[in-house]
């Protein structure tokens, strides 16, 4: 590794760690810590900018200034009572079986792109808790229903896990299989319990992954459980846009939205349908960066070129390309007992061997769905 690369790596790691710590502290209301960490993050980013040039340098300086500004703003932020956390004691009754026990280690920073989803989450649950007066002034009703849909491997499940980490509110995650099979015959009771438990909190988040199996088109489902469960969930979701009790954010994810019962898309239930597309060039580059970080890289590695080659690949595909290339280099290093870094040629070779997991036909199906909804 050259001296420049070593320095860059050092600053980058510190910058990322401080930024993460700062934003987390900020979200959690620990302003003194947030201010300190963000100042440090900004300092390291300025240092990083000195090691780069061109557009990267410019964008690093800009971002460092933004962090500085944020740190200054925090100086005047009110103390926030962060007691309503995800770890708070659960109410009585069986609701704990749906709650997330531990916050996952994943944050918005680990997710490339998907800025519109992140913004929705900020507007609907993070800021309303943090700035209740402002939310009232602008008549922003927190919570609501968001449906994330798109091809496989694009980060839908990942973003939901990150929400659990970023949002300072109780987070419930439910697998349809849990509701349907673990407590056979109790499906309706489970659903009622889930919503009742969640509504006890000032603001809460419920996430249901693979939601098409919980709310399938009724005509296509012969199961009598479904005939009762679907209307019940629909009733729980009713009036999400004008909550009477405590508000909650309901997030559903699916890669087959056309299998959903059409009634779920009526206004007042999911009020926001967000299409999670394959990553664009910038996001592909970021996914490469995230997945190659900390691995020994040759100096010739050129992420821009790789990002171009990876057009049409999903985030999961790109993660696999990186992991498989690293594995090859690792095996070589073991077999030949020499440390060797991952080169541009290695990465290109793996890309050529790897197929896009999302087909044109699947994409067409989404396009059609988007036009119709
Ligand atoms: N935008 C992204 N940023 C960073 N990593 C990503 C992104 N999208 C996908 N990945 C990588 O792909 C993996 C799989 O993503 P995830 O499970 O969230 O996909 P999904 O959209 O839920 O797929 P499915 O529809 O099959 O459930 C992630 O763990 C991550 O490593
Ligand atoms: Mg998923």
Share of residues in the chain with pLDDT > 90 (%): 31
Instruction: Say how far apart CA 21 and CA 34 lie, in whole Å.
Output: 7
> Up-side HSE of residue 36: CA atoms within 13 Å toward CB?
6
Q: How far is the CA of 159 from the centre of ligand 1 (A)?
A: 8
In a domain, 84, yes or no: no
Residue that is last in its domain, among 217, 243, 275: 275
Min mean pLDDT across 154-168, 212-226, 268-282, 306-320 is at: 212-226
Query: What pLDDT does 153 receive?
Result: 96
Ligand 1 contacts CB of residue 174 (under 6 A): no
Q: Evaluate if residue 222 carries a pLDDT over 60.
A: no
CA 285–ligand 1 middle distance (angstroms):
15
Phi, psi of 250 (to 5 degrees): -115, 115
* pLDDT value for 300: 95
pLDDT value of residue 84: 32
Distance 331 CA to ligand 2 centre (A): 30
C-alpha distances in Å from residue 364, one per residue of 113, 172, 318, 347, 361: 22, 33, 21, 29, 5
Verify that 163 and 177 share a domain, yes or no: yes
**Which of 25-39, 159-173, 293-307 is modeled with the greatest confidence?**
293-307
Assess whether pLDDT exceeds 70 at residue 179.
no
**pLDDT greater at residue 193 or residue 42:** 42
Residues 103, 167, single domain; the answer is yes
Give yes or no for residue 283 CB within 6 A of ligand 1: yes
| Coil vs helix vs strand at 259 | helix
Query: How large is the average pLDDT for residues 89-113?
Result: 61
Mean pLDDT of 45-67: 83
Q: Is the CB of 257 under 6 A from ligand 1?
A: no
Q: pLDDT grade, residue 254 (50/70/90)?
A: very high
Query: Closest ligand to 254 CA?
Result: 1
Q: What range defines the domain where residue 48 resides?
A: 3-74
For residues 98 and 64, membership in a common domain is answered with: no
pLDDT at 149: 94
Decide: 158 in ligand 1 pocket, CB within 6 A: yes
Measured in Å, residue 114 CA sits from the centre of ligand 2 at 15
Would you state the pLDDT for residue 82?
A: 34
Q: Are residues 181 and 241 in the same domain?
A: yes
pLDDT in tens, 8-23: 888 888 898 888 888 8
Ligand 1 atom index nearest CA of 112? 3
Whether residue 321 lies inside any domain: the answer is yes
Among residues 259, 273, 176, the alpha carbon closest in space to that of 218 is found at 259
Tell me the mean pLDDT in the region 133-147.
87
CATH of the domain at 35: 1.20.58.80
Q: Is 173 in the pocket of ligand 1 (CB under 6 A)?
A: no
Of 275, 299, 317, the position where a domain reaches its end is 275
Q: What is the chain's mean pLDDT, rounded? A: 81
Q: How many domains does the chain contain in total?
A: 3
Tell me if 251 CB under 6 Å of ligand 1.
no
Among 55-69, 103-117, 166-180, 200-214, which is the least confidently predicted range? 166-180
Shared domain for 333 and 244, answered yes or no, is: no
Q: Are residues 292 and 182 in the same domain?
A: no
User: Which of 275, 304, 335 is a domain's end point?
Assistant: 275
Nearest CA to ligand 1 atom 18: 155
Among the residue ranges 91-105, 153-167, 278-292, the one predicted with the least confidence is 91-105
> Domain with 329 in it: what CATH number?
1.10.8.60
Residues 258, 118: one domain?
Answer: yes
Protein residues placing their CB within 5 Å of the ion ligand 2? 156-157
C-alpha 52 to ligand 1 mean position (Å): 30
């Amino acid at each position: 590794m050259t001296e420049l690369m070593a320095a860059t790596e050092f600053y980058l790691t510190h910058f990322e760690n401080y930024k993460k710590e700062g934003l987390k502290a900020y979200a959690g209301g620990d302003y003194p810590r947030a201010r300190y960490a963000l100042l440090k993050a900004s300092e390291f980013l300025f240092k990083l900018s000195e090691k780069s040039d061109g557009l990267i340098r410019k964008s690093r300086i800009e971002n460092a200034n933004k962090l500085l500004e944020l740190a200054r703003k925090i100086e005047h932020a009110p103390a926030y009572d962060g007691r309503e956390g995800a770890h708070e004691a659960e109410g009585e009754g069986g609701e704990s079986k749906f709650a997330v026990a531990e916050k996952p280690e994943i944050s918005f920073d680990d997710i490339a792109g998907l800025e519109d989803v992140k913004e929705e989450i900020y507007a609907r649950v993070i800021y309303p808790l943090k700035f209740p007066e402002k939310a009232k002034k602008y008549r922003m009703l927190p919570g609501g229903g968001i449906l994330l849909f798109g091809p496989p491997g694009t980060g839908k499940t990942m973003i939901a896990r990150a929400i659990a980490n970023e949002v300072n509110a109780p987070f419930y995650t439910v697998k349809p299989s849990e509701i349907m099979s673990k407590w056979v015959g109790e499906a309706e009771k489970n659903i009622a319990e889930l919503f009742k438990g969640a509504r006890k909190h000032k603001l809460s988040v419920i996430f249901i992954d693979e939601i098409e199996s919980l709310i399938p088109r009724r005509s296509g489902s012969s199961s009598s459980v479904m005939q009762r469960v679907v209307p019940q969930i629909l009733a729980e979701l009713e009036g999400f846009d004008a909550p009477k009790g405590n508000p909650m954010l309901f997030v559903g994810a699916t890669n087959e939205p056309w299998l959903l019962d059409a009634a779920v898309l009526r206004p007042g239930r999911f009020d926001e349908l967000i299409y999670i597309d394959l990553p664009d060039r910038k996001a592909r580059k970021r996914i490469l960066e995230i997945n190659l970080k900390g691995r020994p890289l040759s100096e010739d590695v050129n992420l821009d070129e790789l990002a171009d080659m990876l057009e049409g690949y999903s985030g999961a595909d790109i993660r696999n390309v990186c992991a498989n290339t690293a594995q090859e280099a690792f095996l070589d290093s073991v077999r030949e007992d020499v440390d060797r870094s991952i080169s541009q040629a290695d990465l290109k070779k793996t890309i050529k061997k790897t197929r896009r997991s999302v087909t044109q036909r699947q994409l067409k199906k989404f396009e059609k769905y988007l036009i119709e909804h």
